[in-house]
Amino acid sequence: MPVRGWLRAVREAVGLTQSEVAARAAVKRQSFAQFEVAEERGSISIASLRRAAGAMDCELVYFLLPREPVAGTFVELARVHDPALRHLGATEHSMGLKGQGERR
């Protein structure tokens, strides 16, 4: 993560001011400034991140990466933790579209 947070880094990289992003997010400039401070401190909500990302024409990608290998693919992870494989079809379809599906 950049020292001052992703929101500030992306906002500055795309050449937007806090006021411009705030207007797009339908919040006051001070509120958007608080988004940046909260992210820097690690206390921002996912909803606020999503709102700020949308205002900068960005997509929020929320991702957790285990430190130790748990599974090679999302399919293997589903097989370990979801024996009924309730979500496997949707996950595999999505990952396949991104070229990350199960390789046979």
| Residues 6+ away with beta carbon under 8 Å from 84 | none
Average pLDDT over residues 50-57: 97
Cβ pair 32, 18 in contact under 8 A = yes
100 pLDDT exceeds 60? no
93 pLDDT exceeds 70? no
What are 4's two structure tokens?
A: 């001052």
Give the CA angle between residues 69, 74, 77 to the nearest 5°: 60
CATH code linked to domain 6-55:
1.10.260
Rounded to two decimals, the pTM is 0.66
Per the prediction, the chain carries an average pLDDT of 84
Distances (CA, A) of 69 to 19, 65, 73, 74, 85: 43, 9, 10, 12, 20
Chain region(s) in the chain for CATH 1.10.260: 6-55
**The amino acid at 15:** G
